[in-house]
Structure 1
Amino acid sequence: MTLTFKNLPLKKQHSMLVTIIAILAILAYFFNDAVSELFVYQYQLISQGELWRTFTGHFFHTNGFHLLLNLAALALLWALHGHFYNVKSYSLLFITSALTCSAGMYFFSPEIRQYVGLSGVLHGIFVFGAIMDIRHKDKTGYLLFVGVWLKIAHEQFYGASEQVSSLIDANVAVDAHLWGAVGGLLFSSCYVLMTKKTISSYNNER
């Protein structure tokens, strides 16, 4: 699909949650010193029962460049696939990707003691958009789906770009990308199955 201003998904159901997420991330950045100690993903504190950090930590960023990179990616994914979003599905997609990302890091990457950023969740949102493209017979969806997993595999074997690490002033948590994408895949699989059942039930009733 060619991106133009006319075909941007500007309706409330497509854009409201994306806007709210961006605002929360911006607020978290500006009030970082005051609230980050309470909300950032920290392995040790999560182990002590502060489970809310598995969700809230994704809204914080290491610096302004990190924030801008993630907001740009959030906006681009919305521009590409926002017509597939609605309040309920996007909420569940975001929550599933965020919690799967955190759970994956907690159980399988305990060496990651602290994590911030939307990048893990963004990989889950990317996977959802690619699958929706495929479902709607858009061949670019296959390229996007294969491409994101190749990127993740490359990161797992070779690590992330040193330039990006330097820009955000932190090591890139490539495992967060992996588990965020897994969360997006889990949600997308359930979403496709559930909507198929809904469509089948509707057709049968007719």
Structure 2
Amino acid sequence: MYNLPIERQYLLGPGILLAVLAVIFFTPLNGIFEFDRAAIESGQYWQLFTSQFTHSNLAHLLLNALGVVFIWSLHGEYTNAQRYLFNIMLLSIVTGTAIYLLSPSIHYYTGLSGVLHGVIIWGTLKDIKLGRKDGWLLLIGVIGKLSWEQIHGASDSIASLIESSVATDAHLFGAVAGCVLFLMFDLRKKPT
């Protein structure tokens, strides 16, 4: 039987993240924090980080909130609140910076999906390290999804739902960042 990680130490990080997403979306911060290449080039470098927490519409916010809950249900027991929020912040900075440096065609960007790809890759690698065979299946599935997106592009129905183009490069950059995060901080640690 599968047990959800419902202890306070496992709920606090995702709970704080969901609260931050809601506060930003329902206030003028959403527009101020989004990735705007021209604004970044004029010195608003903080948007590289903050844009990960903005959303194009309510459906976009809800999809990413569901992603947070889904990934928590799979890998929530691997982090406490401090480590979870550290991972989110680091993945946000790396994903936003990678979009800026490696995807010059992206002029505007909102959403947490790149970071979520990093979180799920990180958790999947933890699964594998702990000897969970389902970790390999999830890793193959995520790599397959990323490959499909890089070759065929994003789903038109998702783009229509969120009323914005889907930045598949952000998904790839987040996933790579999640892998690097695992290699830097978790590969040599003994499993608990």
Task: Please give the range of the TM-score, normalised by the shorter of the 2 chains.
Answer: over 0.9
Could you say if the C-alpha distance between residues 108 and 73 of structure 1 is closer, same or farther in structure 2, counting changes exceeding 3 Å? same
Q: Which residue of 2 aligns with 1:16?
A: 12
Structure-2 separation of matches of 1:160 and 1:104: 19
Separation (CA, whole Å) in 2 of partners of 1:195 and 1:48: 41
How much is the aligned-residue C-alpha RMSD, in angstroms? 1.6
What percent identity do the matched residue pairs reach?
36
Structure 1 pair 120–50 and aligned structure 2 pair: CA distance change class (3 A) = same
Contact 1:97 1:182 in 2 (8 A): no
Mapped partners of 2:126, 2:139: distance in 1: 10
Q: Decide which moves more: 12-21 or 114-123.
A: 12-21
Q: Is 1:25 aligned with 2:25?
A: no
Residue 75 (structure 2) aligns with: 81
Partner of 2:136: 142
Alignment check: 8 A CA contact 2:113 2:171 kept: yes
Q: Give the one of 38, 59, 62 matched to 2:56.
A: 62
| TM-score normalised by the chain length of structure 2 | 0.94
- 1:202 alignment counterpart: none
Out of 179, 186, 189, the position equivalent to 1:195 is: 189
Aligned residue pairs: how many? Answer: 192
Residue 88 of structure 1, CA deviation:
3.2
* 3-state SS in 2 of match to 1:117: coil
Contact conserved, 2:115 with 2:174, CA < 8 A, in 1? yes
**Letter of the structure 2 residue corresponding to residue 58 of structure 1:** Q
Q: What is the CA distance between 1:194 and its match in structure 2?
A: 4.7
Structure with the greater alpha carbon radius of gyration: 1
Say if 2:43 is the partner of 1:49.
yes
Displacement of 1:36? 3.0
